[in-house]
Amino acid sequence: MRKINKKIVNFVPLDKRRFKSIYLISLFIISCLSIRVLNLQFLKSSNFKFKAIAMQNKRINSINSRRAIVDKNNRLIAFDKPLYRLWAHPKYFNFPGDSYKTIRTVDEVVDKLSKALNIEKEVLNSKFNNYEGGVKLFDDLDEEDSKKIKNLHISGLDLELYSKRFYPQGHLYSNIVGFVNDENVGSAGLELHLDEKINVLNKSNILKKGGDGTPLPDSSGPKDFVRDYRKIILTIDSRLQKITFDVLVKQVKEWKAKKGFAMVMNVNNGEILSLVSVPSYDPNEFWKYDQNLFKGWYMQDLFEPGSTFKPINLAMALEAKVVDKNGFVQDDGNIRVGGWDLYNWNKKGNGYINYPKVLQVSSNIGMVKIMQKLPPAKHWEWLNKLGINEKIDTDLYESTPGYLKSKDVFVNQPIEQAVASFGQGFSMSPLKLAQIHAILANGGYEIVPHVTKDFKTEDGNNKKNKLFSSEVSKTILEWMETVVEIGTGNGSKIDGYRIGGKTGTSQKAINGIYTTKKVCSFVATLPINDPKYLVLVVVDEPSKAYAYGSTVAVPVAKEIIESLIVLEKIPPHSKENKIIVKKP
């Protein structure tokens, strides 16, 4: 067994002065730590709490943006682009690495900015002249330029993100879509009328994350950070819209007219394939134009439809069974009604003619005699039933109700029914005329013209009342076909296609007095054997001689129809289905 050597150590008492020093030092350290803990936990806790929240939470601010608008083929008509404004606050100018007390000069900041943005220093310096407080240096900076500015890390330069509206097709859609003002607020057209649908109501969100960037659980909803990519889809075909626009602009200029309107509509569901009015404007620079151009006059201005309304009146007479479709009427060229003398447009008679011939030669006298067989009260009720004095429940501009004399005046003053028989004495918008003609074309059903794919009327029914029988509609369309074959609408004839139409040349009434100013129009339906499309052209106040519906409006309609046939792939009719028209 190994022997263990033991060493005896004698304890020596600690020096009192040394012990006291260690005690005091320890007490001081503990006191300092206690004070520090108290300072952090109580006095500065709120400050650190806010710093922690700032590190953990990132606010994603929303901007006022709007949904894109596209045509039926997804071609862009209007869209928002994110851009930046650059603001400068000279009293806070500071470079990375500077003391927080250091304030850099404008010249120093301009030197860095000019290099980053490749802009002359003089341009930047001029923006700081007579500044007080913040200075807006630039609008419309793109993402690339904004990154260059951010990479400078200059305190006192602030980038403001905003959304700007662009209209890539310029004048082409201005009188449908309208525009937004400088605050990105809808101010005309669909931008105004459908503002609630177009405007995107995004909310600001807060994203929580840990110190290492790991996302933390929070109360955000599943769709809070999903961007709204929905679009407003129009029924318009941009190809047809461009063709319609170009043809109409050319004709309005050729005839030195005040304005013009042209449209193509599906008569079965009210979808508008093209809609143009001129003069137009560029919505990207709306401030350069007269405000009168911003309204949709094709819905808000009224005109007397003239002879384009004659087929509608004939449909009323057939529906009321006061005339037979095989009947005839004596046209002597003039007639006296209630002390007023009425004439045909050329003051010539056409003799003993059938009803298709009345339309072919646009006989006013024939129409007066035909409609005199319909009791005035019934005639007025028909006009009222067609909604002439009502607004159109559509998705376009706010429409203006048409004007129709009171029933008492219409019934007790024979001249009112007489002039109404050839489309004067009452007024409506061009779009209302198209809506009424669509009733004839689709077999008698009232439809609502519209330009958005998801359009619904207030009652959810786009096809409403049945106003004419299918038999009457078919008869009137066949009569209108003879107008194109051998009548005043012959200029719109296209070999191989069955087209029906009616020209109109109406005098304009100003302050209740008819003037020499005219409105020339033409309405066409095709194909007659299976009606689907309606084309309407209205040219207001052509100022050259020989201005009629046949010379001014018909050529425009023909070019539109030719393009429509190609774009919609409308097949030609078979010869056995063609109506046989015998010249008188």
Active site residues: 307
Alpha helices (H) in 269-342, listed in sequence order: 297-300, 310-319
Number of Cβ atoms within 10 Å of the Cβ of 31? 10
The answer to whether residues 342 and 332 touch, using CB atoms and an 8 Å cutoff, is: no
d(CA 243, CA 235): 16
Residue 447 DSSP label: E
3-state helix/strand/coil string of 194-242: CHHHHEECCCCEEEEECCCCCECCCCCCCCCCCCCCCEEEECCCHHHHH
- What's the token pair of residue 497? 């296609």
User: Buried (b) or exposed (e) across 137-163, using 16+ Cβ within 10 A?
Assistant: bbeebeeebbeebeeeebbbbeeeebb
Number of Cβ atoms within 10 Å of the Cβ of 460? 6
* Concatenated DSSP letters of 512-524: TEEEEEEEEEEEE
d(CA 478, CA 528): 7
- What's the token pair of residue 455? 């359009």
Query: For tokens 């296609």, what's the residue?
Result: 497
Contacts of 319 (CB under 8 A, 6+ apart): 382, 468, 469, 472
d(CA 280, CA 301): 16
